[in-house]
Amino acid sequence: MSSRFRIEAALAALLALSACHKPPAPQAEAPGGAGAPGVPVTALIPADGALPGAPNPRALPYYDNADAVAQGMRLYKQFNCSGCHFNGGGGIGPALMDDAWIYGGRLDQIYATIYQGRPNGMPAWGGKIPDPQIWQIAAYVRSMSLPATIAANGGGTPSQHPAPVPRAADAHDGWRLPDGTVERTP
Question: Does residue 111 carry a pLDDT above 90?
Answer: yes
In a domain, 185, yes or no: no
In a domain, 39, yes or no: no
Max mean pLDDT among 23-27, 34-38, 179-183 falls in 179-183
In a domain, 34, yes or no: no
In a domain, 160, yes or no: yes
pTM of the prediction? 0.67
In a domain, 147, yes or no: yes
Range of the domain at 92: 57-170
What was the pLDDT predicted at 83?
Answer: 87
Question: Does residue 184 carry a pLDDT above 50?
Answer: no
What's the CATH number where 61 sits?
1.10.760.10
Tally of structural domains, the chain:
1
Q: With bands split at pLDDT 50, 70 and 90, how would you rate the model's confidence at 28?
A: very low
Q: What is the DSSP string of 64-116?
A: T-HHHHHHHHHHHHHTTTHHHHTTTT-SSSPPSSSS-BTT--SHHHHHHHHHH
